[in-house]
Structure 1
Amino acid sequence: MKLLLFGIVSYLLGSISFSYLFTKWLAKEDIRTLGSGNAGATNTLRAIGVGPALLVLLLDALKGMLPVWVAVVYFQTPWLGVIAGACAIIGHNWPLYYGFKGGKGVATTMGVFFVMSFYPALFAALLVIVIIAITRYVSLGSMVFMIVAPLLMLMMHSIPQSAAIGALLIGLLSIWRHKTNIVRLVKGNERKLGQ
């Protein structure tokens, strides 16, 4: 019962789309009809600017961090954290409040990973910053994070192995959500940061 309730609450929290709310409030537009059509921080940056994009990034990360923090710190259950985090990400990707059309879950997944195991997520995030600075491909950096962070969790034994494998599955979900980006990267027509 605790697991089901925690999953539902995490999903409902994850379903709050801050990119949608800020774009509606500031531009009177639906973020899903602008730019890439993705309800996330990068598209918010392109649509309405740096300030709102940073807020979206922070708030999207927090909605992944909160349920995992409660599970890991309060209940002392890493696997409950994996499930709560996955439900929050699913909520972001397929939000109940917005016709099940959301984003790709990058910031929310990052929030989940940072609470699950801080140092692996930090090392992966620093690598991502370097990759984005060199290539200006946010999608590439995001996908690298989704693989590197869980692999570091496994290698560093920072959390139970089963939880690290759960984190890897979460990362693979995000990469699957980037399938159109992967096609564009291969073809060489993926949009770079600043374009």
Structure 2
Amino acid sequence: MDILLIICGAIMAYMIGSLPTSVWLGEAYFGIDVRKYGSGNAGATNTFRVLGKKAGIIVMLVDIFKGWTATSLALILYFMDAISAESIIQFKLLFGILAVVGHIFPVYVNFKGGKGVATLLGMALAIHLEASLLCVLIFIIVLLTSKYVSLGSMIATLAFPILLLIPRFNPEEPLLNIFGFVLFAIVALTHQKNIVRLINGEENRTTIRLKKK
């Protein structure tokens, strides 16, 4: 195990996750900081609200790719003989977590980022493709029926560790199951205000018709 390469991989994972896609896109093409409008978050959902559909899709895809890329650094370390095959999942989890933390607390823009859901999806896709795609489907169903992005995000995140308990999807890696529930707790914490608004019936509904403000 090469400690130096692992440290470099960890730093890269955080830096990749920190890339403030919505902030840079908003400033470069619209002349605004999305964090000063809408919900104040530098994530894909707020980008949809503030900058419109095309910008939102770009930010969402890039944020997903950030999570997938950072998590996949574990495979690069494996091919460089820096880690063993048995530890790939552990390092995927480590690098993925660092990417999500980077998205929430991005070093490039004063540590004020988004909620990390899209980056989390990219991480999950790199770890377990089938379960992740089902979670995407669950998110879409919840979104279409409730019109709440926050509710869809939380339910889809909770669905991931639950799916891993099913023999069909079980990777026989207890750490991954535990991590899934811990990650749901993190997502729930970052959505505290949304949860309160949902309970009080004050959460904003999202429609397919998006436009720039």
Question: Distance between the aligned counterparts of 2:75 and 2:175, measured in 1?
Answer: 14
Question: Distance between the aligned counterparts of 1:144 and 1:73, measured in 2?
Answer: 32
Q: In terms of Rg, which structure is larger?
A: 2
| Matching of residue 158 in structure 1 with residue 171 in structure 2 | yes
Compared with structure 1, are the counterparts of its residues 72 and 165 closer, same or farther at alpha carbon in structure 2 (3 Å cutoff)? Answer: farther
Two-structure CA RMSD over aligned residues (Å): 1.5
Unaligned runs of 5+ in 2: 79-84
More helix by share: 1
- Cα shift at 1:74: 5.8
- Cα shift at 1:6: 1.8
Question: Distance between the aligned counterparts of 2:77 and 2:8, measured in 1?
Answer: 15
Report the AA paired with residue 133 of structure 1.
L
What does residue range 31-42 of structure 1 map to in structure 2 within 5 Å? Answer: 31-42=34-45
Report the AA paired with residue 171 of structure 1.
F
Q: Which has the higher contact order (CA 8 A, sep 6+)?
A: 2
Report the AA paired with residue 18 of structure 1.
T
Task: Assess if the C-alpha contact under 8 Å between 2:73 and 2:95 holds in 1.
Answer: no
TM-score (structure 1 length as normaliser): 0.94
In structure 2, the partner of 1:78 is 89
- Cα shift at 1:125: 1.2
In structure 2, the partner of 1:57 is 60
What SS does the corresponding residue of 1:103 show, helix, strand or coil? coil
Report the AA paired with residue 19 of structure 2.
I
Question: Distance between the aligned counterparts of 2:163 and 2:175, measured in 1?
Answer: 14
Compared with structure 1, are the counterparts of its residues 159 and 36 closer, same or farther at alpha carbon in structure 2 (3 Å cutoff)? Answer: farther
What SS does the corresponding residue of 2:165 show, helix, strand or coil? helix
| Matching of residue 191 in structure 1 with residue 204 in structure 2 | yes
Report the AA paired with residue 9 of structure 1.
M
In structure 1, the partner of 2:50 is 47
What does residue range 1-195 of structure 1 map to in structure 2 within 5 Å? Answer: 1=3, 2-72=5-75, 75=78, 76=85, 77-155=88-166, 156-158=169-171, 160-194=173-207
Question: Distance between the aligned counterparts of 1:159 and 1:69, measured in 2?
Answer: 20
- Cα shift at 1:27: 1.7
- Cα shift at 1:26: 2.0
- Cα shift at 1:115: 1.1
> Cα deviations across residues 155-179 of structure 1 (Å, max 9, x unaligned)?
3213512123223322321221011
What SS does the corresponding residue of 2:16 show, helix, strand or coil? helix
* The 10-residue stretch of structure 1 (85-94 or 142-151) with the greater mean CA deviation from structure 2: 142-151
Compared with structure 1, are the counterparts of its residues 159 and 46 closer, same or farther at alpha carbon in structure 2 (3 Å cutoff)? Answer: farther
Task: Assess if the C-alpha contact under 8 Å between 1:93 and 1:105 holds in 2.
Answer: yes
In structure 1, the partner of 2:81 is none
Compared with structure 1, are the counterparts of its residues 39 and 159 closer, same or farther at alpha carbon in structure 2 (3 Å cutoff)? Answer: farther
TM-score (structure 2 length as normaliser): 0.87
- Cα shift at 1:127: 1.1
Report the AA paired with residue 70 of structure 1.
L
For these two proteins, the number of residue pairs brought into alignment is: 195
